[in-house]
């Protein structure tokens, strides 16, 4: 029963994920003056979804290894450490995000306590 509910929720998420993937892929294809056939789109979406699940596992293991309960940006960067280009790119994105935050000075003083706080989710997932 509980399992079924979990499955239907993840099915819904998978569909939403697929939709976003199609959106991104089509925009990218347009930039290259290309079209994408249906099977390719499905395949890319499934791959990306599997990658997301794998990323979740990685982030959990990395944050646990760091003695934390909350995954932070360092964990995400660590998960791509084998690809230096990608890591550098994420690093600069990470710095952009940090720079965008209004109270960066205060945060430096008050350590990273605020940053480690978990986000409250808007999407409701039952704690099965």
Partner 1 sequence: MEEPTFEPDLIHAIFKIVWSRRALERQMIEGADALDGETGAGTSKKNRPTSANGNALKLSCELLRNFITEAVQRAATIAEAEGVSKIEPTHLERVLPQLLLDF
123's tokens: 């999407």
Tokens of 87: 């890591």
Residue 10 and residue 28: Cα distance in Å, rounded?
26
DSSP SS3 for 33: coil
Q: Is position 37 an interface residue for partner 1 (rule: CB under 8 A)?
A: yes
| 4 contacts partner 1 (rule: CB under 8 A) | no
User: With contact defined as beta carbons under 8 Å apart, do 47 and 55 qualify?
Assistant: no
Rule CB under 8 A: is residue 95 a binding residue for partner 1?
no
Taking CB under 8 A as the rule, does residue 66 contact partner 1?
A: no
Query: How many Å apart are CA 24 and CA 18, to the nearest integer?
Result: 10
**Interface with partner 1 (CB under 8 A), residue from 1, 4, 35, 108:** 35
Q: By CB under 8 A, tell whether 102 contacts partner 1.
A: no
Contacting residue, 5, 8, 43, 65, with partner 1 by CB under 8 A: 43
Rounded Cα distance between 91 and 85, Å, is 10
Site residues, partner 1 (CB under 8 A): 6, 9-10, 13, 16-17, 20-21, 23-25, 27-29, 32-37, 39-40, 43-44, 47-49, 51-53, 55-57, 59-60, 63-64, 69-73, 75-77, 79-80, 83, 86, 89-90, 93-94, 97-98, 115-119, 121-123, 125, 127-128
């Amino acid at each position: 029963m509980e399992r079924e509910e979990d499955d239907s929720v993840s099915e819904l998420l998978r569909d939403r994920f697929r939709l976003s993937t199609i959106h991104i892929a089509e925009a990218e294809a347009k930039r290259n003056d290309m079209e994408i056939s249906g099977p390719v789109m499905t395949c890319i979406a499934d791959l990306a979804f599997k990658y997301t699940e794998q990323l979740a596992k990685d982030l959990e293991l990395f944050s646990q290894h760091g003695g934390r309960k909350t995954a932070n940006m360092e964990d995400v960067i660590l998960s791509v450490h084998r690809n230096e280009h990608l890591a550098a790119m994420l690093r600069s994105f990470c710095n952009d995000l940090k720079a965008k935050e209004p109270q960066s000075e205060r945060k430096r003083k008050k350590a990273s306590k605020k940053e480690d706080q978990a986000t409250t989710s808007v999407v409701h997932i039952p704690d099965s």
